[in-house]
Every structure is written in C-alpha cells, then in structure tokens.
C-alpha cells in the first residue's frame, strides 16, 4: 500500500517571501501521479499542481513549483512571492497511474499561515 507523509503540520511565511512544503511518499509502483491540493477556510479542495512520475521535468504553475525527486520519493511544493490568499491547508496526494485505480492517498496536511 502507498503512504504519503507530510512532516510539517504547520508553517508560516512572511508575505512576498518563499516557502517550501515537504512531502515524501512510499510506493512500489513505477508509474503514478502526485498532486498538491489547497484547502482554504471555505473547505473546497483546489488542485494546485500535479506531476506525472514519468516526467523528469518539475511541474510549474505560476508562483507554484515542485521539486520532484523520484529516487528519493520526495515531492516538495515551493510557493514564491507568498500572498495572503495562499493561507490554507495544503495536502500532498498520490494516485496510481494504472487503469481502474484512481484512489487518492493523502498526507496529513500542512497548515500554511501568511504573515502580513
């Protein structure tokens, strides 16, 4: 079974600074997807960024980028130029790439606070 670990329950960053959230995972599969989801106080689950395991290039979405280290099974999220609207709970998640197995395995989350 796959597991996802987020070792930072809480983090804080000054507005406009950069912060990195950590995520490690364990799997025996070779093909999979990794995601970062954002959950603001509204509780909505918002997809921030995704990474396909077969791609060596790290995914980027505007101010959000990942550092994907497949051999180390590490998938960290970097938020640049932090904004007040980035304050939320962030979840790292894993999904197999094999047909029929679309279960998401989530980490326990990191609560990010933005300091004005």
Partner 1 sequence: EAQVTQNPRYLITVTGKKLTVTCSQNMNHEYMSWYRQDPGLGLRQIYYSMNVEVTDKGDVPEGYKVSRKEKRNFPLILESPSPNQTSLYFCASSLGQVGRAEAFFGQGTRLTVV
Mask of contacts with partner 1, 7-46, x by CB under 8 A?
A: --x-----------------------x-x-------xxx-
Q: Which is nearer to partner 1, 73 or 111 (CB)?
A: 111
The strand pairing partners of 51, in sequence order, are 34
CA distance 64 to 28: 27
**Contact residues: partner 1, CB under 8 A:** 4, 6, 9, 33, 35, 43-45, 47, 50, 52, 91, 93, 95, 97-100, 102-104, 106-109
């Amino acid at each position: 079974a796959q597991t996802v670990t987020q070792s930072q329950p809480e983090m804080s960053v000054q507005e406009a600074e950069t912060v990195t959230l950590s995520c490690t995972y364990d799997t025996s599969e070779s093909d999979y997807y990794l995601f970062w989801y954002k959950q603001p106080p509204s509780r909505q689950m918002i997809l921030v960024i995704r990474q396909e395991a077969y791609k060596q290039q790290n995914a980027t979405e505007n101010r959000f980028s990942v550092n994907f280290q497949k051999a180390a099974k590490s998938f960290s999220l970097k938020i640049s130029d932090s904004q007040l609207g980035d304050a939320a709970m962030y979840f790292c998640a894993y999904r197999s790439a094999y047909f029929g197995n679309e279960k998401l395995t989530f980490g326990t989350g990191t609560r990010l606070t933005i300091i004005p």
